Amino acid sequence: MTHDEADVVVVGLGPVGITLCNLLAAAGVRVEGIDAADDVYALPRAIGMDHEVMRIFQNIGAAEAVAAATGHYRPSEYRSADGTLLRRFDSPAEPYPLAWPPYLTFLQPDLERALRANGKKFPHLTLRTATELVGLENPDRPILTLHDKASGERTRRAPRYVVGCDGANSFTRRGLGVALEDLDFDEPWLVVDMILEDQLAPLPETNVQFCDPARPHTYVCGPDQLRRWEFMILPYEDPAEVNRPERIWQLLSPWLRPDQARLWRSATYNFHALVAEQWRVGSVFLAGDACHMTPPFLAQGMVQGIKDAANLAWKLAHAIGSGSEHLLGTYQAERRPFMREVIDITKRLGQFICERDPDKAHARDAEMAAAMRTGQGVQIRQNLFPPIRHGLVASNIDGSPSPRAGEPCPQPWIIGPFGRKRLDDALPPGFQLLIAGDMDPSPTLLDKARQVGIAVHRVAQEKSCPSLLVEEDRVLVDWLTAKGARAALVRPDHVVFGTAADTRGTEQLVCQLQMMLVAAPDK
Ligand SMILES: O=C(O)CCc1cccc(O)c1
C-alpha cells in the first residue's frame, strides 16, 4: 500500500455509496469512491425515504441541501377494484421522534448531486467518476484493478477495505462469488414517472395501491410535480410492448390526458426479494442493492441500503482507528436477519396487492373491509419493522433483549442559549449515555463510561442545573418511561445498545458494552 492509498475504496456512487463515502470521511477515514458512469443517474429510481435516513444526512452536514430535494409524504390507501377502502397508512403527528418527518419523498438525481457536493467538504475523500472496477483479487488483502474510461488507463489499488455499493448487478458481489438467496418474489412491473403539467388533473390526494386482480397497480405522489404509476405486467404481455408511449398513455387514461403531463421515465423490471448469503468476504463488504433487493411496496430499497452504510461506516472507522476488527463481524449479523424481516413484511403486503385470482381477491376485500369497519385497518406509518435483534445489542441476565435495544434512539429538539438544535447536533459523535435528568449518575458510572469512551449527558425538561440538556418536548423522557427506563446507551449510529432503570443497571450496561467491544458476537 502506498502512503496516499485510501483506507477504504467504495465501489459505486449511487445514494448508498456516496452516503458511505461521506460518513467515512466525516469520521476521518481516507476514502476513494469510484463510479463507472460519468455523472449521477439523471432519472429517479427510489422515491421514498424515512427519518432515519434524513438523520444520517443531517449527521454528514447535508440535511439542508437534501431537504431541498424532498417533498411531503402522503398517506397511503389500499383500494379494491370497486374502490372500497381496504387499508390506510397515516403519518404520525408531531413531535416527530427523530426530529424529521417519518417519511419523505424526494428527487433522486437532486439527492445524489447534493450528496456528491457535500463530499467536497472532506479533504480525505476522493471521488472518481467514469472509473470502473474491472478486477478484484485476494479479498483478505484486496487488490483492485480500476479502468479509467476517459484515458483507457488501468491502475491498481490496495486499500485496507473495499465496500461494493455497485447495485443489483454488483461486480463486487460476483467477483467474490457470493450467491443471492431467493426469497421467492418475482413479479414483472412497469414503472412510469410523470411530470404533471396541469394542476387541475383529477388525481388521488393520497398514494394508492389499487388491489385490482385484473391489473394490480400503484400511484405515488413524488415531490413537486412528480407522480409515479406502477402497473403489473400480466403473464401474457410482452414488457417491451407494454413500455411503449401509446400503451403507457392507455394505462394512464383513467387519470391523465397527454396534454396534462410529460412522460419523464418508464422502465420495466422484476420486483424481486433477494438477499446475499454473505455480506462480507475477508476485507470486502457489500451494501445496498448489491446485497439485498426488496419489492418496492413500502419504499424500502434505498432506505435500507443507506442504513447498511450507517451500520458499517462507524465499524470500519473503529477498525481503522483501533486496529481491532471485532465489530466488523456484527455488520452481517445485524443487517442480514433484519433485512430478511423487512423483505418478509414487504412481501406479505406485496402478495396482498398482487393477488390475481378474482375469488381470492374478493375474499381478501371482504376481510379487509371488515377490519376497516372496526377501525383495525388504519395503521400509523411508524415502527413498521422490528428492532435489530443480533450483534452489538444488550441483553438482560436472562437472555431477553434489553428494553429498546436495537431501536433507533429518538432525537429530541434541545433548547438553550443557542435557540433549538436537534440532539445529534448538540452532541459529539460516538457512544452516548443519555440519562433522565432526575437520575444522578454515580462516580463509578461516570468513571466506567469514561474508560469505555462513552459521553454522558443528562436530558431534562427544564434547566435545574447548568449541565443538563433541555428537551423541547417530552420525546426522549416519554420513550424511556414507557419501558420503565431512566437511561439509554446509544451507539454511534444512534441504534440503542440497551436501556436501564437505575444507576446500578446502567453500570452493568456499560460493562456489557465494554466486554462486547472486544468480543462482539457475530451471530
Ligand atoms: O406509500 C406507499 O405505501 C407507497 C410506497 C411506494 C413507493 C414507491 C413505489 C411503490 O411501489 C410503493
Percent of the chain with pLDDT over 90: 93
Residue with CA nearest ligand 1 atom 1: 76
Residue whose CB lies within 8 A of the most ligand 1 atoms, among 77, 189, 210, 218, for a mutation test? 218
Q: What is the pLDDT of residue 464?
A: 79
pTM: 0.97
- Mean pLDDT computed over 169-174: 98
> Which residue type sits at 477?
V
Q: How confident is the model at residue 184 (pLDDT cuts 50, 70, 90)?
A: very high
Cell of 452: 469505555
Q: Which residues pair with 232 in a beta bridge?
A: 189
Structure confidence at residue 462 as a pLDDT band (50, 70, 90): confident
Mean pLDDT of 159-173: 98
What is the average pLDDT across 487-491? 98
Position 463 confidence tier, pLDDT thresholds 50, 70, 90: confident
**pLDDT (tens digit, 9 = 90+) per residue, 38-56?**
999 988 899 999 999 999 9
As a whole number of angstroms, the distance between CA 471 and CA 437 comes to: 10
Q: Start-end ranges of CATH 3.50.50.60 in the chain?
A: 3-69+106-180+274-340
Q: Are 211 and 265 in contact (CB under 8 A)?
A: no
Residue ranges of the chain assigned to CATH 3.40.30.120: 413-518
CATH number of 413-518: 3.40.30.120
Instruction: Give the per-residue pLDDT at 199.
Output: 87
What number does the ligand 1 atom closest to the CA of 218 have? 11
- Ligand 1 centroid distance, CA of 339 (Å): 18
Nearest CA to ligand 1 atom 7: 299
Mean pLDDT, rounded, for 306-332: 97
Pocket of ligand 1 (CB under 6 A): 47-48, 76, 89, 207, 218, 220, 230, 296-297, 299
* Nearest ligand 1 atom to alpha carbon 298: 5
Question: Contact at 8 Å (CB) between 304 and 292?
Answer: yes
3-class DSSP string for 360-389: HHHHHHHHHHHHHHCCCCEEECCCCCCCCC
DSSP labels, 183-222: EEEEEEEEEEEEEE--TTS---SSEEEEE-TTS-EEEEE-
Output the CA–CA distances (angstroms, integers) from residue 133 to 32, 55, 166, 285, in the order listed.
12, 31, 10, 15
Which protein residue has the closest C-alpha to ligand 1 atom 9? Answer: 296
Ligand 1: residue whose CA is nearest its atom 8: 299
Please tell me which residue, 185 or 417, carries the higher pLDDT value.
Answer: 185
Taking a C-beta distance cutoff of 8 angstroms, is the pair 173, 164 a contact?
yes
Could you tell me whether strands 8-11 and 161-164 are parallel, antiparallel, or unpaired per DSSP bridges? parallel
Residue whose grid cell is 496516499: 4
Pocket test for ligand 1, best of 77, 217, 297, 379 (most atoms within 8 A of CB): 297
Q: Is the pLDDT of residue 3 over 60?
A: no
Report which ligand 1 atom has the smallest distance to the Cα of 47: 8
Binned at pLDDT 50, 70 and 90, residue 520 comes out as low
pLDDT at 1: 38
Q: What is the pLDDT of residues 71-97, one digit of tens each?
A: 999 999 999 999 999 999 998 899 999
Amino acid identity of 59? N
Fold (topology level) of 3-69+106-180+274-340: FAD/NAD(P)-binding domain (3.50.50)
Q: How much of the chain is helix, strand and coil, in % rounded to 5?
A: 30, 30, 40
pLDDT band at 382 (very low <50, low <70, confident <90, very high): confident
Cβ contact 222:261 at 8 Å = no
Mean pLDDT, range 54-76, rounded to an integer: 97
Which contacts qualify for 450-456: CB closer than 8 Å, 24 or more apart?
Answer: 451/514, 452/510, 452/513, 452/514, 452/517, 454/430, 454/489, 454/510, 454/513, 455/427, 455/428, 455/430, 455/431, 456/432
Mean pLDDT lowest among 247-251, 387-391, 517-521: 517-521
Q: Whose CA is nearest to atom 2 of ligand 1?
A: 76
Measured in Å, residue 336 CA sits from the centre of ligand 1 at: 23
The pLDDT tens digits of the residues spanning 186-244 come to 999 999 999 999 988 999 999 999 999 999 999 999 999 999 999 999 999 999 999 99
Using the mean position of ligand 1's atoms as its centre, give its distance from the Cα of residue 508 in Å.
43
Which ligand 1 atom sits nearest the alpha carbon of residue 295? 11
The stretches of 60-98 forming alpha helices (DSSP H) are 63-67
Cα of 220 from ligand 1 centre, angstroms: 6
